[in-house]
A and B are shown apart, each in its own frame.
Chain A
Amino acid sequence: AQKITQTQPGMFVQEKEAVTLDCTYDTSDQSYGLFWYKQPSSGEMIFLIYQGSYDEQNATEGRYSLNFQKARKSANLVISASQLGDSAMYFCAMREGFDAGNMLTFGGGTRLMVKP
């Protein structure tokens, strides 16, 4: 079974509007972390936001917020006031447990296109 599922291969959003990118995850661990990364066409992976499984509040970083619904195992990324520079691939990732081994498992990504 997929550990990280991103069901939207591609999305369009109008500039200045908000957009939600979906991410569901599957783990039996109680301690885990969820991450979102942005990959522009240039290829680099840019860290956006982190949510820990024990964090009671949804994470926010500037225009990015993470809508964390633990019972539903979802960690959707919300981008407010979209900008043209937000056009990129977005990846949701999970780190399970906090013991030795800290690898990330990534979803298949969502390509976001911002329309002027």
Chain B
Amino acid sequence: DSGVTQTPKHLITATGQRVTLRCSPRSGDLSVYWYQQSLDQGLQFLIQYYNGEERAKGNILERFSAQQFPDLHSELNLSSLELGDSALYFCASSSSAGGKETQYFGPGTRLLVL
């Protein structure tokens, strides 16, 4: 158990809908990262937050947004869902914004868009 929690574990929804994925980092970790794992794109970095502020952005679609709250949990919002958004979405956390710290991953949320 990495100490990172993600809810829900599974999500099935329809095209055009909007969903929210939730992540709680390990105790004491200030950085949260979101990654998407799909069959065709592999594991891709989406976005990073550090202590409530956006720190880095990767291949995140405009239909997707994220935020980190004062209690350090983070939410990833996916809207106008398409079939191709079906993937495993991981949240990871680390203690700082940079440096050597390892990122510990949550169990993931498996999203299926029908």
Instruction: Please give the residue numbers on chain A whose beta carbons come within 8 Å of chain B beta carbons, in ascending order.
Output: 33, 35, 37, 43-47, 50, 52, 91, 93, 97-106, 108-109
Instruction: Please give the residue numbers on chain B whose beta carbons come within 8 Å of chain A beta carbons, in ascending order.
Output: 2, 31, 33, 35, 42-45, 48, 55-56, 58, 88, 90, 92, 94, 96-108, 110
Contact (Cβ within 8 A) B45 A105: yes
Given known A102-B48, A109-B42, contact A44–B98 (CB-CB < 8 A): no
15 CB < 8 A contacts A-B: A33-B100, A37-B105, A44-B105, A47-B2, A91-B43, A93-B43, A98-B98, A98-B99, A100-B97, A101-B97, A102-B56, A102-B94, A102-B97, A102-B101, A109-B43
Residues of A within 8 A of B96 (CB): 102
Given contacts A98-B99, A98-B100, A100-B98, 18 further A-B contacts (CB under 8 A): A37-B105, A43-B110, A44-B106, A47-B102, A47-B103, A50-B102, A97-B98, A98-B98, A100-B97, A101-B55, A101-B97, A102-B33, A102-B97, A103-B33, A103-B45, A104-B35, A106-B44, A109-B42
* Bound Cα distance A85, B44 (Å): 26
* Bound Cα distance A50, B105 (Å): 15
Contact (Cβ within 8 A) A43 B88: yes
Nearest chain B residue, comparing its CB with the CB of A106:
B43
Residues of B within 8 A of A106 (CB): 42-44
* Bound Cα distance A99, B97 (Å): 8
Nearest chain B residue, comparing its CB with the CB of A54:
B100
